[in-house]
Amino acid sequence: MNRLRRVGAAGTLGAVLTVTASCGVPTGAEPSTIAPSDVPYGLAAPAPEASAVPSSVPRDEAGWAYLVGPDQALVPRARDSGTGSTEERLGALLSALAEGPTEPEQGRGLSTALPRGVVLSVTSIDGATATIDLSGAAPLPSGVASRRAVAQIVLTATSLAGVEAVLLTTEGEPAEAPLPSGALTDAPLLPADYAVFLTPPPPPPPAATPAPSPTVPRPPTAAPQPSAAVQPPFAADTRPDTAEPSPDAAVTVTDVRVGRYEGFDRVVFEVDGVGLPGWDARYVPEARSAGSGSPVDVAGDAVLRLILTGVGLPGDTGVPPYAGPDPLPGAGPAVREVVLDTIFEGQMVSFFGTTGEHPFRVYRLQSPDRVVVEVLHQG
């Protein structure tokens, strides 16, 4: 049986997903001014600068909820998933996802494509496939936002150890889910299916300018105007970026790759083993070895340190480690060199020599598991 069908048929999952790219705030009414006396105490005060510290969620209770970043790419944020069974932890993690971003996260431009009022319930976990029911959302047609919402659910659920695929139902009935291409499927949904949402969507092509008629004289050539600033390919900053590993994480880095892309340099750490790694990425005044504290030579004008957490020694994980070049030369104008330091107390330390403290971001991909660091050329 052909398990794929093009979008357009009735009775699909898109009928219960509200097409919204906000965090669920109603948009129908006109904005109005609130009297200062009606504002709750402290609400109008300037928000304090977000502190760049690791999540306060205990390591054995951490899960990842995928939210929509300012550039429309999905980004993981730590959430408390409890300490019960896999089904109980998944239920807690999905409830946290349905609640959307916290106020500090909204302040950083994070939102959700899930509709306000949606209820995500775990029906069962069969093997490593979780069946998740969607209910409580107002029916609206499907679209790109619905596909992004499905991606949030799938990536969040499969970030939990023991869940590798997702089946969706609506109000207890089997549902066909939209793939990123727009095709519909009732097959189990894998994180690799929705990895495209982990990177920003491409900008729309510029509108074609019609050629002037040959019978109409060309107007005088206008004086050249200053060009607009080139926009970065994704939102990023220079603040520390952290994420917790899964509770059972014991992975080994099997490959390290450096590449140049339009507007940024990318460094990929591929891992294998048990669980999912976390990270702590930040600029440091100098590179020093984690074990001895001795200086580490790194080419560049600034040092971006990446600590992968949840890392085990190869003899413990049974996974052959990376055996390629070290250091690795940079491939673009932002990252000049990558130096692998050592594995120390469950952590693997690496140093990126950069041409300055450029904005960066870190995220995880699956199938295979990878931690990706991207450093903007500008900034």
The answer to whether 146 and 112 are in contact (CB under 8 A) is: no
Domain residue limits at 171? 7-21+57-198
Domain shared by 161 and 251, yes or no: no
Task: With respect to residue 246, please indicate whether it lies within any of the assigned structural domains.
Answer: yes
Task: With respect to residue 207, please indicate whether it lies within any of the assigned structural domains.
Answer: no
Domain shared by 259 and 369, yes or no: yes
Name the pTM for this structure: 0.46
Domain shared by 267 and 191, yes or no: no
Q: Measure Cα distances from 180 to 24, 216, 319 in Å.
A: 22, 46, 33
Domain shared by 112 and 254, yes or no: no
Domain shared by 251 and 155, yes or no: no
Domain shared by 245 and 191, yes or no: no
Task: With respect to residue 262, please indicate whether it lies within any of the assigned structural domains.
Answer: yes
Question: Binning pLDDT at 50, 70 and 90, where does residue 24 land?
Answer: very low
Domain end point (choices 166, 198, 230): 198
pLDDT for the residue 68: 94
Residue 268 pLDDT more than 90? yes
Pairing of strands 129-135, 119-126: antiparallel
Domain shared by 16 and 162, yes or no: yes
pLDDT for the residue 339: 97
pLDDT per residue as tens digits for the range 199-249: 888 776 676 666 665 555 555 655 555 444 555 677 788 999 999 998 889
Range with lowest mean pLDDT among 10-19, 63-72, 300-309: 10-19
Question: Percent of the chain at pLDDT above 90?
Answer: 47
Domain shared by 185 and 310, yes or no: no
The Cα 246–Cα 320 span in angstroms is: 21
Residue 60 pLDDT more than 50? no
Question: Binning pLDDT at 50, 70 and 90, where does residue 78 land?
Answer: confident
pLDDT per residue as tens digits for the range 170-181: 888 888 888 887
**Mean pLDDT value of segment 104-116:** 91
Burial class for 87, CB neighbours closer than 10 Å (0-12, 13-18, 19+) = middle
Task: With respect to residue 143, please indicate whether it lies within any of the assigned structural domains.
Answer: yes
CATH code of the domain containing 320: 2.60.40.3500
Question: Binning pLDDT at 50, 70 and 90, where does residue 39 land?
Answer: very low
Residue 61 pLDDT more than 60? no
Domain shared by 159 and 295, yes or no: no
pLDDT for the residue 33: 53
Domain shared by 128 and 261, yes or no: no
pLDDT for the residue 349: 96
| Nearest one of 355, 183, 163 to 264, comparing CA atoms | 355
The answer to whether 248 and 348 are in contact (CB under 8 A) is: no
| Nearest one of 130, 155, 176, 193 to 4, comparing CA atoms | 176
Average predicted confidence (pLDDT) for the chain? 80
Task: With respect to residue 41, please indicate whether it lies within any of the assigned structural domains.
Answer: no
Domain end point (choices 141, 174, 198): 198
Residue 10 pLDDT more than 80? no
Residue 40 pLDDT more than 50? no
- Report H helices in the chain: 86-99, 103-107, 144-158, 314-317
The Cα 144–Cα 179 span in angstroms is: 10
More confident site: 41 or 265: 265
Instruction: Count how many domains the chain has.
Output: 2
Q: Is 377 helix (H, G, I), strand (E, B) or coil?
A: coil
Domain shared by 159 and 16, yes or no: yes
Task: With respect to residue 234, please indicate whether it lies within any of the assigned structural domains.
Answer: no
pLDDT per residue as tens digits for the range 341-370: 988 889 999 999 999 999 999 988 887 899
Domain shared by 351 and 261, yes or no: yes
Task: With respect to residue 227, please indicate whether it lies within any of the assigned structural domains.
Answer: no
Q: Is 341 helix (H, G, I), strand (E, B) or coil?
A: strand
pLDDT for the residue 221: 55
Task: With respect to residue 182, please indicate whether it lies within any of the assigned structural domains.
Answer: yes
